Amino acid sequence: MIVNPRGGIVAGPLHEQHGIVYADCDPAVSSAAKRTLDVAGHYGRPDLFRLEVKREALAPVDFG
């Protein structure tokens, strides 16, 4: 499945088959989406964002 920066599905998913999903991408759309949430710049405030590392092993996800 290919999802655009706004969360819309552009192509796929492939159900019950194997293959490669292709889509045309517009770099201008990606650049605009990156500007809406700049976690390294103005919005990178420690009172809003933090990095957490969970060191315990997690069970694998089973979609079947």
In the chain, where are the structural domains located? 23-49
Which pLDDT tens digit goes with each residue over 18-57?
999 999 888 877 777 767 666 666 666 777 777 889 999 9
Residue 50 token pair: 């933090």
Whole-angstrom Cα distance, residue 13 to residue 19? 10
- Give the confidence band of 1 by pLDDT, cuts at 50, 70, 90: very high
Going from the C-alpha of 63 to that of each of 15, 23, 34, 60, the distances in angstroms are 12, 25, 30, 10
Spatial neighbors of 43 by CB under 8 A, at least 6 apart, are 37, 49
Residue-level pLDDT at 41 = 65
